[in-house]
Amino acid sequence: MIVVVDERELVKDGYTSLFGREGIPSTGFDPKDFGEWVNTAADTDIAAVEAFLIGQGDRSLDLPRAIRDRSTAPVIAVSDQPSLEATLAFFDSGVDDVVRKPVHPREILARAAAIRRRIKAISNYTDIGPVRVFSDGRDPEINGDVFPLPRRERRILEYLVANRGRRVSKSQIFNAIYGIFDEEVEENVVESHISKLRKKLRKKLGFDPVDSKRFLGYCIDWS
């Protein structure tokens, strides 16, 4: 999920709509409301955020350090002012990157992915058994062959692999895939997506790599 912080309603709505077209859940905050939320939100809600997008607001320069107290997700500032001073002010506040409007949401996602790679010092893919899962939106590969998946199933596989070795709950998967503020979709839809994903993996691999335990959640690993 991408969190957009800007005092202008049109900007927040515009970005959430654009990210939605890319299949990425997002939500918008006014800077004041966001400051309160980031300090009080549950750890699971914070962990569902893939990147923070900081725009215009009186408190915008105070937000990056508040975010760093809770999350290591990329913090990207969107500047309306084509000035060196504005850019340096954002970097001084602790953001990871600054982009100038207009900027396409795919560029923002690419920059966020690049920041995560630098932070984790990893490549843009993860190999787990015969499966290679990419972090840049590409379909996974199995034994070198492209393994096409619908968007939701692909993102669930990406999330399971990113958390390999530990169990994640249905709620955590839902928050990561649909966003923590999506009230139009029932959480149980995750079970349907996972069921379809497991059937496809079982057919391709000859076994089911996803282990599920009631009340404990899901886990994927080859060890």
* 127-151 pLDDT tens trace: 888 999 987 778 899 998 999 999 8
Radius of gyration of the chain (CA): 18
pLDDT at 109 over 60: yes
For residue 60, the 8-state DSSP code is G
CA separation for the pair 108, 110 (Å, rounded):
5
Domains of the chain: 2-120 (3.40.50.2300), 125-220 (1.10.10.10)
User: pLDDT at position 3, please?
Assistant: 94
Per residue in 54-67, pLDDT (tens digit) is 998 888 888 998 99
- Sign of the Cα pseudo-torsion (159, 141, 147, 217, in order): negative
Backbone angles phi, psi at 111, to 5 degrees: -65, -40
- 5 close to 55: Cβ distance less than 8 angstroms: yes
Q: Look at residue 122 and tell me whether its pLDDT is greater than 70.
A: no
> Taking residues 189-216, what's their average pLDDT?
91
**CB neighbour list of residue 55: distance below 8 Å, 6 or more residues apart:** 4, 5, 6, 7, 8, 11, 77, 78, 80
Question: Tell me, what's the pLDDT at 75?
Answer: 95
* 93-125 exposure pattern, b = at least 16 Cβ within 10 A, e = fewer: bbbbbbbeeebebeebbebbbebbeeeeeeeee
Q: How confident is the model at residue 182 (pLDDT cuts 50, 70, 90)?
A: low
- Residue 223 pLDDT > 60: no
* Rounded percentage of the chain residues whose pLDDT exceeds 70: 94
Instruction: Give the model's confidence band at 114: pLDDT under 50 very low, under 70 low, under 90 confident, else very high.
Output: confident
Per DSSP, 180 falls in state T
pLDDT of residue 102: 85
pLDDT tens column, 20-51: 888 888 999 999 899 889 989 888 888 889 89
Whole-prediction pTM = 0.59
Instruction: Name the strand (E) or helix (H) holding 210.
Output: strand 210-213
Q: Are strands 2-5 and 26-29 parallel, antiparallel or unpaired?
A: parallel
pLDDT value of position 37: 92
Is 4:15 a contact under the CB 8 Å cutoff?
yes
Q: Kindly state the DSSP code that residue 4 receives in the 8-state scheme.
A: E
Report whether 201 contacts 209 (CB < 8 A). Answer: yes
Mean pLDDT of the chain: 87
Q: Minimal CA–CA distance to 55: which of 106, 18, 90, 17? A: 90
pLDDT of residue 181: 64
Asked whether the beta carbons of 217 and 167 are under 8 A apart, the reply is: yes
What integer pLDDT is reported at residue 206 of this predicted model?
92
